[in-house]
Amino acid sequence: MRLNWRSKRVVLAVILAACLVVFGAGMAAAWVNRDNTICRDGKPPRLQQGGLLGQVVYLCHNGQLVTTPG
């Protein structure tokens, strides 16, 4: 099956299909990782501060400091 790339309808349909695939993959990744947290206690961080070289420093409820790359 050959696509007529000169047809606006075909090109827009391919772009729409690609966007839907990327959107669906993002939603699936968010669903799979919904229970992952930065802090060991499972709660969201209490404080967030920008560190050096693009790193981010988080302060958890239990006093733990977590550093993540930008």
Give residue-wise pLDDT tens across range 9-46: 999 999 999 999 999 999 999 999 888 888 888 888 89
* The predicted structure's pLDDT at residue 70: 62
Structural domains counted in the chain: 2
Task: Give the residue with greater pLDDT, 1 vs 34.
Answer: 34
The answer on 52 and 30 residing in a single domain is: no
Instruction: Give the SS3 label for residue 4.
Output: coil
Note whether 7 and 25 are same-domain residues: yes
Closest CA to 63 of 48, 49, 51, 46: 46
What is the extent of the structural domain holding 31? 1-36
